Amino acid sequence: MKKIFFTLAIIAVTLTFSACEDSLNIGPEDYYGSNNFWNNEAQVKGFLYGIHSTLRNSYQMFFYLGEARGGTHRTGTSSQNTSLNDERIKTNNIDKNNTGITNWYNIYNRLLNINLFIIKVEDINATPFLTDDARNGYLAQAYAFRALYYFFLYRTYGNVPLITTVEVLNGRVTANKFYIPRATAKQTLELIKSDINKSETLFGNSTLIPSRIEWSIYATRMLKAEIYLWAAKVPVLDQEKGGNADLQVAKTALESVVGNTNFTLLTDFSKIFSDKSANNKEVIFALRFLDKEATNNGGEYLYHDQVFVNQKYDHSGNLLGDVLNLKSRGGIFRHEYKFDLFLTYDTKDIRRDATFFDYYSNNTASAGQGLLMKKAIGSINSTNDRIFDTDYIIYRYADALLMMAEIENGLTGSCASYINEVRKRAYGTNYGPAVAYTDGTYAANELAILKERDKEFVWEGKRWFDVVRLRDAVGNSLAFSPNANYPTGTPLIPSTEAYKLLWPVDINTLTLNPELTQTTGYD
């Protein structure tokens, strides 16, 4: 923490506005706190674009904190004989000396910018040129972003330092002023709920969707539903489960999304990721990637010609060339999903072949099974090159439906209709009674919702959080269930290591801030 805040105190606040529509000149070190900024609405809007851009730059946070530990990734050596990344995280082999991530995943750097924005925009004297409606709209987005980042910290670490000010503006630059202890988990969740509720209130009666790559009231309500769904079901240290009261809040938040004519499931599952999000009615909020601006790591899930072309076979025994038209732009194969996940898809489920391409090391499809993940395959640009510009989707309509299924299950209602709405799209003309879901016991419904989410949200940063949140018959996390892993038989985490639901803090961060303590269980 000392490193984060002392460094930032020296350089004040800097942002990269690579996604901004308005170019901004970078001034002196304390530019954003001085008199040559915050002078007009274009600067406020530019700063908010910068906050959006910073989230895009942080998009792998969703993978590392929300998916990698979820048991769907192969480890060790890939089916193309390349070494795979992040084995310690993917196998949950973390401890206080090997934490997998460091420095709170740099989230506090992002929070400092958001805090400064909130302070300046809330202060009428600092930004007198803003109308009330404009001020409320900007703050609604900023409070939502702060809630989002703290929600990631809460689900990852439980209790964390709570910082809502920018101390350098108050003349506090002595290093020890930045030694901040961890709040309780209860206090952390209270801040998150407070911020997301402020966001919803500030949006007021707004129904505007300016762009699906710009935060809206509907993104706030999706995040609110997710926060309260987690709070209802997951006890975190001193914070007990909120139960039905929180489930009802989550349901109310989703009721403005489910059935809203602004959103629908696309008929063709693959189009969700090939069409740009601004024109895609399934998307509620996404991070935009564009050629010559920013691209993602989609190539790390695909083949490199030297270890794939004319060496692998499809399931019909055909020798494969550049089957996905990568044009020699595939990356070094660093992430591969488990074949056991692929085998859980029904052959008539269109999500299987829209998400994965399966291949084999011989022409009988009997050995060397491997998977390419196609969701992030990107597009061909104007120079006829493959670029990885697939938008990263944070919230889409299928998520609203399956969260509603989970809420109804918790409230002893029927979840089948929401699951089946997703399955109807997945099976198309093959949908019928044989594949329709029928309500079962609470535990059976929870596991069915998890498996449906597994098929639906590959690469979308949800699996680890899903498996932690969903419950078995006695209320324990499915992270401890042998039925929730791939392959089944052993749990992701044994119940004797329940403390691993939260991450340890790295030694360097603890050393730099003497007020910090290690995450419970890792000492």
Say yes or no to pLDDT of 36 above 80.
Answer: no
Say yes or no to pLDDT of 195 above 80.
Answer: yes
Q: Over the stretch 333-353, which tens digit does the pLDDT of each residue have?
A: 999 999 999 999 999 999 999
The model carries a pTM of 0.93
Say yes or no to pLDDT of 11 above 70.
Answer: no
Q: What is the pLDDT of residue 178?
A: 66
SS3 content of the chain, % helix, strand, coil (to 5): 45, 5, 45
What b-and-e string marks burial along 7-38, b requiring 16 or more CB atoms within 10 Å of the CB?
A: ebbeebbebebebbeeebeeeeebbbbeeebb
Question: Which tokens go with 339?
Answer: 């074949």
Cα pseudo-dihedral 455, 458, 463, 467, rounded to 10: 10
Say yes or no to pLDDT of 219 above 90.
Answer: yes
pLDDT class of 169 with cuts at 50, 70, 90 = low
Q: What are phi and psi of 367, to 5 degrees?
A: -155, 160
* Contact (Cβ atoms closer than 8 angstroms) between residue 298 and residue 61: no
pLDDT class of 331 with cuts at 50, 70, 90 = confident
Task: State yes or no: cis peptide before 487, omega within 30 of 0.
Answer: yes
For tokens 């946070």, what's the residue?
Answer: 61
Question: Which tokens go with 356?
Answer: 């994965």
* Contact (Cβ atoms closer than 8 angstroms) between residue 364 and residue 380: no
Q: What is the pLDDT of residue 175?
A: 53
Say yes or no to pLDDT of 5 above 80.
Answer: no
Look up residue 225 and give its amino acid: A
Mean pLDDT computed over 236-251: 98
Using alpha carbons, select from 8, 99, 69 the residue that is nearest to residue 508: 99
Mean pLDDT computed over 387-404: 97
Q: What is the pLDDT of residue 41?
A: 97
Say yes or no to pLDDT of 374 above 70.
Answer: yes
- 128 Cβ contact list (under 8 Å, min separation 6): none
Q: What is the pLDDT of residue 172?
A: 52
pLDDT class of 179 with cuts at 50, 70, 90 = confident
Q: What is the mean pLDDT of the chain?
A: 91
Q: Percentage of the chain with pLDDT > 70?
A: 91
Cα–Cα distance, 38 to 59 (Å, whole number): 28
Q: Percentage of the chain with pLDDT > 90?
A: 86
Mean pLDDT computed over 63-79: 97
Q: Which helix (H) or strand (E) holds 394?
A: strand 392-396
Say yes or no to pLDDT of 266 above 50.
Answer: yes
- 331 Cβ contact list (under 8 Å, min separation 6): 297, 298, 299, 300, 302, 304
* Contact (Cβ atoms closer than 8 angstroms) between residue 296 and residue 388: yes
pLDDT class of 371 with cuts at 50, 70, 90 = very high
Mean pLDDT computed over 479-484: 98
Higher per-residue pLDDT: 35 or 482? 482
Q: What is the pLDDT of residue 16?
A: 38
Q: What is the pLDDT of residue 24?
A: 29
Q: Over the stretch 423-481, which tens digit does the pLDDT of each residue have?
A: 999 999 999 999 999 999 999 999 999 999 999 999 999 999 999 999 999 999 999 99
pLDDT class of 166 with cuts at 50, 70, 90 = confident
11-25, 86-100, 246-260, 493-507: the lowest-pLDDT one: 11-25
Mean pLDDT computed over 246-251: 98
Question: Which tokens go with 180?
Answer: 């901040």
